[in-house]
């Protein structure tokens, strides 16, 4: 899956949209958020200052050369000039979407951990706790046994039972 984000001008010049390749989008409209947004796309608050204050601000506070307001206005100018820009790798603007595990695999891992964990301080016990939490959060019913989960369990036992 592509993980790029694109900067789009907001409605009537108000704010900006950030659109992820996967279709999610976010509307940024607070002045205070503009410097951070611009930095996400490659702006740097002190790029027009002299070297001695480089990095002295996050773009909302003043630096030795410019006030916070001046930085924020520079950020807005920069954003306006860069609408349409896309960066190919989202540096964390959007939450990564965790791929969800197949329910039968979760059941198989649970059954493996329950049957083979070797004491309270073992890897198997930690796995057991983790898989229980995962099942609760994702609504996986661990009481159910399916053909697929039983088959997966056999494979897991062969490979991992001694390690737990």
- Please give the structure tokens belonging to residue 18: 């950030």
Q: Cβ 87 to Zn ion, closest distance in Å?
A: 24
Q: Cβ 42 to Zn ion, closest distance in Å?
A: 17
The yes or no reply on residue 75 touching Zn ion (CB under 5 A) is no
Cβ count near 79 (within 10 Å): 22
The yes or no reply on residue 108 touching Zn ion (CB under 5 A) is no
Number of chain residues interacting with Zn ion (CB under 5 A)? 5
Contact 94, 21 (CB under 8 A): no
Q: Whose Cβ is closer to Zn ion: residue 53's or residue 105's?
A: 53
Q: Whose Cβ is closer to Zn ion: residue 46's or residue 106's?
A: 46
The torsion angle over the Cα atoms of residues 128, 124, 104 and 146, rounded to 10 degrees, is -100
β-bridge mates for residue 6, sequence order: 19, 86
> Which residues contact Zn ion by CB under 5 A?
46, 49, 53, 63, 65
């Amino acid at each position: 899956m592509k993980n790029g984000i694109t900067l789009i001008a907001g409605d009537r010049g108000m704010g900006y949209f950030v659109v992820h390749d996967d279709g999610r989008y976010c509307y940024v409209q607070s002045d205070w958020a503009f410097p951070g947004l611009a930095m996400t796309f490659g702006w740097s608050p002190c790029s027009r200052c002299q070297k001695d204050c480089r990095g002295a601000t996050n773009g909302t506070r003043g630096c030795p050369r410019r006030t916070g307001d001046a930085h924020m206005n520079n950020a807005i100018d920069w954003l306006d000039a860069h609408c349409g820009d896309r960066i190919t790798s989202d540096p964390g603007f959007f939450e990564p979407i965790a791929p969800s595990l197949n329910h039968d695999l979760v059941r198989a891992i649970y059954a493996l951990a329950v049957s083979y964990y070797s004491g309270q301080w073992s890897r198997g016990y930690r796995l057991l706790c983790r898989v229980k939490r995962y099942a609760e959060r994702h609504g996986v019913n661990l009481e159910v046994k399916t053909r697929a989960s039983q088959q997966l369990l056999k494979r897991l036992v062969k490979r991992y039972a001694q390690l737990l």
